[in-house]
Amino acid sequence: MFLVGLSGGIASGKSTVVSILRELGCAVIDADVIAREVVQRGTPAYNQIISHFGEDVVLESGELDRGKLGSIIFSSPEKRALLNSITHPPIHRAMLKQTLWHFLLGYRYVILDIPLLFETRTLMRYMKLTVLVYCDPQTQEERLIRRSGLSREEVRKRLAAQLPITSKVPLADHVIDNSGDRDSTRRQVLQLHASLESSRGYLPTRIAAVATAAGIMALMWNLARRLWQ
């Protein structure tokens, strides 16, 4: 099995690409979904966030006020780094567990949907391939304004918290241009899917796993023979 890192920018259309990949039967691990799970009420990360950011970031329901927390961290690189230091370790552990599960299920590759893949670069070393969902910066800004209802100033703050999407292009092995319509994006995703399906990048891991399993079985057999003698 091999890993494919999928990333983009805010409002670049990564969710559209992920939905198409899932329609095609690909195994996709969504870091955003995991990020919401690890900060649910009562989790260690939830308690740490309240300890550092105060009760003001909590709604009456007890859940985190994502809008207020977002305003804080996108206005302060130090507080954004603090939040990442709280949430990233449990996110990475959960992603590892899901990856191992997909390996046991026999998938040839797993796509890891990681919004900040190119910003942190921590996980890039584990990816055989990286894919960037791109759209031109002006389209990205307009999409985010329409989607979020935020002012242009707030939108630009959020975009500034990530690497400019144009800077990510040379870092990626594959680029899907989502500046156009869904049909155009779908055609590009189908091409990517065909390339991944034809790859034999999964073989080294599968061979190593078989060799390890064979070694363990041989060890257990020898041990059993000694016990029976």
Each residue's pLDDT tens digit, 108-125: 899 999 988 998 888 888
**E-only strand ranges, the chain:** 2-7, 28-30, 109-113, 129-134, 174-177
In tens, the pLDDT along 156-180 reads 988 988 899 999 999 999 999 999 8
Q: Give CA–CA dist 87/54, Å, rounded.
A: 16
Rounded CA separation 100/162 (Å): 29
Could you tell me if 185 and 13 are in contact, meaning their C-beta atoms sit under 8 angstroms apart? yes
Look at residue 172 in the predicted model and tell me its pLDDT.
Answer: 95
Provide the percentage of residues in the chain whose pLDDT is more than 70: 87
CA torsion sign, 77 to 79 to 82 to 87? negative
CATH fold, domain 2-202, is: Rossmann fold (3.40.50)
What are the sequence ranges of the domains in the chain?
2-202, 203-229
Percent of the chain past pLDDT 90, that is, above it, reads: 62
> For residue 193, what pLDDT band results from cuts at 50, 70 and 90?
very high
Question: What interhelical angle do 44-53 and 66-73 show, nearest 10?
Answer: 60
Mean confidence (pLDDT) of the chain: 87
The CA distances from residue 90 to 29, 84, 86, 112, 149, in Å, are 14, 10, 8, 15, 31
pLDDT digits (tens, 9 = 90+) for 39-71: 999 999 999 999 999 999 999 899 999 989 988
Using the CB atoms, write b or e for 121-147: b if 16+ within 10 Å: eebeeebbbbbbbbbeeebbbebbbee
Average pLDDT estimate for 187-193: 95
Residue 223 has pLDDT above 90, yes or no: no
Length of the chain counted residue by residue: 229
- Does residue 224 contact residue 55 with C-beta atoms inside 8 Å? no
pLDDT in the model for residue 130: 96
Query: Taking 90 as the threshold, does the pLDDT of residue 228 lie above it?
Result: no
Output the pTM of the full model.
0.79
- Residues 155, 148 contacting (CB under 8 angstroms): yes
